Every structure is written in C-alpha cells, then in structure tokens.
Amino acid sequence: MPAPDGLEDEAGDTAIRRRIFLAGVAIDVVTEDDVCAQVAAGLSRGRGGIIVTPNVDHLRRLSRGDPMASIYRRAALVVADGTPLIWASRLAGTPLPARVPGSDLVWSISATAAAVGAPVAIVGGMPGSAERAADRLTQCNPGLQIAGLACPPFGFDEDPEVLQALIREIAGWRPAVVFTGLSSPKGDLFNGLLADAIPAAWLLGVGAAIDMVAVRVRRAPTWAHRTGLEWLFRLAQEPGRLGRRYLIEDLPFACSLFARCVAQRVARRPRSITRREG
C-alpha cells in the first residue's frame, strides 16, 4: 500500500534523512548541492548507490505498480526532477527546496568526481553521443577520468546474453560513477542490475541528458525551466511521441495530484473550537 503524502524524518547512515511523500512515493528533501555532497561522502568511503529523478510521468506509472518501483525502494537518493512535483509539495504544505534535474546532475556530479579523482562511465544516448559528452565534460572539468563509454544496441535489454555481457564490460571498467542515458524505465531497471555488479558505484539514470551534453538534442530554454513549461517545449519538439503521454495520461494525473495535496493540507490544518456561552 502506498504511503500517505506528508513529511517524515528517517535515521540514515550519517544524518537524518528528510523525505516527503507524493502519490505514495518518498522523495528526499535535498538540493543539488546536497546530492553532490552525499555522492562525495560516499565516494570517500567506497560506497555508492542508485539515484532516481522522478517526474509526474514516473509518479503516475509508479502509482500503477510499474516494475521500477523496486528500484525506487532500493535508491540511495530520490530527487524531484519535474517542476510539477515542486508545486505539489508546496500545495501539500511540505515544500521541497528545489528541483534537481538529472540533466543538471550530469554536470555537477562530474565536477564532484573530477575533484576527488573518481572515474566516470557514460552509457547510452545516440551513437557517438557518449564520446561527445565525455569530451565536453572533460573540457569543463580538467582531470575528470573517463572509465569507459558504451552505446548499447536497440533491444539489448531483451537479450540476456547481450545484457549480461554489457554489465560485465561496465563492471570491468571499475567506474565510481555511471551516467545511464536510456529511456525510462529501462535506465532505472538497468541501473538496478548494475548496482548488483558494482555496488560501490553511484548510478544515475539521465535519459536524454547524454544527448543534451553532446549538443545533439536541444535542452528547453531558461524560460521553460523557470515557468515549469519544459514539458510544453518537449511536446512541441516531439508531438507524435509525447502527445498521448503528456496530454492524455500525465496532465489528468497531475491535476488529481494537486487536488489531493490541497485536500491533505486542509485536513492537517488545526481546527479552531468556538465555545458557545450558555
């Protein structure tokens, strides 16, 4: 049964982990700097973990029992990627401090890895994107070590032999950080398998961000990020692929989520008691 929306504090390895619940999904109350600090601390101790970056579409699928729910339960960090999640948290009265998109974490975690000498692997994206992304990341972060690059063929995850061969290859690189540029939920599920093979590595599914870093896919402009309309920009770019998901599936779910958050905030509000004089 999904947890009720709200806020909880949970004892972690080194500190109290503060989380809120949206649509029953636990989301960490962290900023991008907090994520990088936790990654750096883990790298210093030889410990890694899975980082997931939910948006509205992920919450909708998780609410329907999507297989990636098992990865969310294992994740070391669950950070809000989509702006609508920030809006929902505010409506619920348990505001998240900021959006933490995977497309930003690629850059900031690369800077963290370069600072501590941790090797990074890049998996996914269009053919050639991993190489281009590696070039840009190393140019911006002198000293960044690239452990390995891979562009898995389409359908690789449906062939057990190809899948296991890729996992063995990546594990052989001994990366401390892996950026996985695969579609959702394929990227998160793949990271779950990688976590079993290289438990000391930090694994982040970044979707199209590898192609964005490689400047092969245009990222939404600043105005779209600030107004929460990045989804509209992407819809205009790929209406055939994203139209049904955004307009027919995700938009009604988001409206329902907002309404539930408001209702739960009202339900938690202390009620004043008026005493009638007799």
Within a domain: residue 277? no
| Total tally of structural domains belonging to the chain | 1
Note whether residue 276 is domain-resident: no
Structural domain includes residue 128: yes
Residue 264 lies in a domain: yes
- Asked if the structure places residue 173 within a domain, the reply is yes
pLDDT in single tens digits along all 278 residues of the chain: 344 455 555 544 444 579 999 999 999 999 999 999 999 999 999 999 999 999 999 999 999 988 899 999 999 999 999 899 999 999 999 999 999 999 999 999 999 999 999 999 999 999 999 999 999 999 999 999 999 999 999 889 999 999 999 999 999 999 999 999 998 889 999 999 999 999 999 999 998 899 999 988 777 777 766 777 777 777 777 787 777 887 888 899 999 999 999 998 888 776 544 444 44
Q: Is 252 part of a structural domain of the chain? A: yes
| CATH code, domain with 219 | 3.40.50.2300
Residue 241: partners with Cβ closer than 8 Å, 6 or more residues away: none
Q: What is the pTM of this model?
A: 0.87
Q: Which domain holds residue 233?
A: 6-268
For residue 97, tell me if it sits in a domain.
Answer: yes
Residue 186 lies inside a defined structural domain of this protein: yes
